[in-house]
Structure 1
Amino acid sequence: MKIRSLSIEGAYEVTPQLHRDSRGTFLEWYRFDALAATVGHALDLAQANISTSARHVVRGVHFADVPPGQAKYITCVSGSVLDVVVDIRVGSPTYGAWEAVPLDDEDRRAVYLAEGLGHGFCALTENATVAYLCSSTYRPGHEHGIHPLDPELGIRWPAAALELSAKDEAAPTLAQARAAGLLPRYDACVEHSGGGHRAAGVGRA
């Protein structure tokens, strides 16, 4: 298993070792010890989710209040998606930046996001199935979203015609969410996660 820091602090790409033979494939898609050694603390597993999406459905950009926030470990178990991490932490050196990672049922990569980061994805195939491990349970009233087509973010989604939920269509822009006091603070996120690990690069995908 190889774990690589993304350009946004607190976000990592995980590439498992695949063992293939005539019967099929075996892999370890999550190892708590390997992840903890990289990010500095274990993922407190509180909830596991699965979503299925039609082609060109976009889910996100979603985030939770910090504390406690919701760290996520995400993989695509069937089909393929373009997974997007967005830094919405006010005061972060990469505030407003995003990075995209393709997840699919061939390479079996995963993405880890620390508390306070925004997350979304676009399904590239029909019935794309995404599995999430979450550090906290869903809390109504403490979960928020940023409009995935916000021009300020400028996320380069892989299709022109995208399908959004009514909730995501009505989500505020990054600027509107900041003005409303919805966004997490970078210092609070770092303190909550025990300092984390600083990414070396800054930039947009």
Structure 2
Amino acid sequence: MTITPTRLSGCYILDPKVIQDARGYFMESFNEKTFREATGEAVHFVQDNQSFSSRGVLRGLHYQTGEHAQAKLVRVLQGEVLDIAVDIRPESETYGQYVAELLSAENQKQLFIPRGFAHGFLVLSETATFFYKCDNFYNKESEGGIIYNDPSLAIDWKLEASELLISEKDQFLPTLDKARKIW
């Protein structure tokens, strides 16, 4: 597995070694020891989540606050998404900046998103099955969010606004400057 840092501290792209033959493929999608040795980050996942969405579905930008903050390891089991991680750590040199990564069943890439980041994704294929591991349990009272089209973030979502399918809840999230603080 190749683990590559992004331009945002603590955020990594994981590119697993995929072994293919006539029967299909095999890959190790995560190894805690390998990850810790490559990044210096100790992470222990406690919850797995999966969603299925159609083209144009945009989920995010979401995060958990305080003691319920979550690190995530995200990947696509079927289809293709544009995955976004936004640094919302107030003390960070890259506060308010984001990374965008194309994740697909074909490329098998994963994105590790540390605590202190907002996360969202947009489905680019006809459908997509999205899977992610969390290092902390979900807590409804600790939900935070940022509107997907916040002008201060200027995220290029790759689709026109008229093509996006966004939940009512996500349509009314605040901008970064008005969002709940992470800590």
Q: For this structure pair, what is the TM-score category when the shorter chain's length is used for normalisation?
A: over 0.9
- Equivalent residue number for residue 46 of structure 1: 46
Distance 1:46 1:37 in 2: 20
Alpha-carbon contact 1:55-1:123 (below 8 Å) kept? yes
Give the TM-score taking structure 1 as reference length: 0.85
- Equivalent residue number for residue 86 of structure 1: 86
Alpha-carbon contact 1:66-1:115 (below 8 Å) kept? no
Alpha-carbon contact 2:70-2:115 (below 8 Å) kept? yes
AA partner of residue 128 (structure 1): A
**1:24-77 CA distance string (max 9 Å, x none):** 111111111111123324322211000111101111111111334101011101
The runs of 5 or more residues in structure 1 that have no matched partner are 186-205
2:122 is aligned with 1:111: no
- Which residues in structure 2 correspond to 1:147-186 (within 5 Å)? 147-160=147-160, 161-177=163-179, 182-184=180-182
More strand by share: 2
Identity of aligned residues (%): 36
Give the TM-score taking structure 2 as reference length: 0.95
3-state SS, counterpart of residue 9 of structure 1: coil
User: What's the RMSD between the two structures over aligned residues?
Assistant: 1.1
Q: CA deviation at 1:22?
A: 1.2
Distance 2:79 2:6 in 1: 23
Distance 2:40 2:81 in 1: 28
3-state SS, counterpart of residue 168 of structure 1: helix
Distance 2:15 2:99 in 1: 16
Alpha-carbon contact 1:85-1:100 (below 8 Å) kept? yes
AA partner of residue 166 (structure 1): E
Equivalent residues, number: 181
- Which residues in structure 2 correspond to 1:55-204 (within 5 Å)? 55-160=55-160, 161-177=163-179, 182-184=180-182
AA partner of residue 150 (structure 1): D
AA partner of residue 170 (structure 1): F
